[in-house]
Structure formats: structure tokens, C-alpha cells
Structure 1
Amino acid sequence: MGFEKPKSGAERVAKRRAALRAQGLRPRTFWLPDTRTPEFQEQARQMRAWLWAHQDDEAMVFVDAMIDDVLSSLPPPWDDED
């Protein structure tokens, strides 16, 4: 009874990708804005102000609450979790 040679990281990744492809999936890379940056947070606030000036109040109450909720749950910009 012999031992199998341990698979390298590249071999494990290749096997996993092959299994996903067999399920009809394909690999994609998505680059998203970093919501932790002060610039992003300021832009969200500016967009909210613009929406308040151009949309109906009922919809904006919802948007306002969502933006406050999202921004309050973000770590400070200096808290690097990467």
C-alpha cells in the first residue's frame, strides 16, 4: 500500500476549477470599490444628497436609512483587514 504524493496548491486549485467548470461555471474576477475609503464614503453621502434633491421623500427615507446603516457598519479606513 503506497502513499499518494501530496498535491501542490496549484494542483488543488486546478482540480477545484475543473469541478466548478463541470458544474457549468466559469471563473471571473471582479474588482469592486473599496467601501472603507473616506473617498467612497464621501461619494455615498454626496449621492444621497443629490437623491434627496431629486427624488420623492418616501423612497429617500429608505435610501437614507440604508446608507447610514452601511456606512456605520464599515470599519475605520485605517483598519486594514486585507
Structure 2
Amino acid sequence: MNAPPKSEQTTETIRQRHARLRRQGLKPVRIWIPDPSSSSFAEEAHRQSAAVATSRHAEDDQSFINAASSWDEA
């Protein structure tokens, strides 16, 4: 008896894993995120950081970032 091709084995392994996760009450979700290697990503990140830095709420925003960044220190 011959074993199924590798791609069929992989597909079945993934199918079994997904079924197991569903039995555990989980649901698959696909999300799309910005590509950090894109030049437009860097431009938009710079634009947003400049907007935050010049906002009238800049001090509060930075305090929030500092508090979130030191989560492990608490």
C-alpha cells in the first residue's frame, strides 16, 4: 500500500489540527495587517507618530505608552 503524496498528508494534518481546535471551542480568523516592509508603511507610521507628537494630548498619550511599555515591571 503506497502512502499518499506529501501534499495530501499535509492537507490532512492541517484538517485534523483545525478540527481539534474547533472541538476546543476555537474559531479560525483571517486578518490582514499592514506590511512593515512596505515603503508606504514607514511613511504612514512617520505621519501618525508626528501627528501624535504634536497633539494637544501628546503628554497623556506618552504616559499611556510608558505605562503599557512597563507592564512587566509592575
TM-score bracket, shorter-length normalisation: 0.5 to 0.7
Cα distance in 1 for partners of 2:24, 2:64 equals 38
Instruction: Summarize deviations over 1:42-80 as a string: whole Å, max 9, x none.
Output: 1111111111111334644886xxxxxxxxxxxxxxxxx
Greater relative contact order structure (CA < 8 Å, 6+ sep): 1
Cα distance in 1 for partners of 2:63, 2:46 equals 14
2:58 alignment counterpart = 56
Could you list the structure 1 runs, at least 4 aligned residues long, displaced by more than 6 angstroms after superposition.
Answer: none
TM-score by length of 2: 0.63
TM-score by length of 1: 0.58
CA RMSD of aligned residues (A): 2.5
In structure 1, the gaps of 5 or more residues are 64-82
Cα distance in 2 for partners of 1:61, 1:51 equals 12
2:11 alignment counterpart = 10
Instruction: Summarize deviations over 1:9-63 as a string: whole Å, max 9, x none.
Output: 2211111011100110011111111011111111111111111111334644886
Q: Quick check: 2:34–2:41 contact (8 Å CA) kept in 1?
A: yes
Q: Give the fraction of aligned pairs with identical amino acids, expressed as a percent.
A: 30
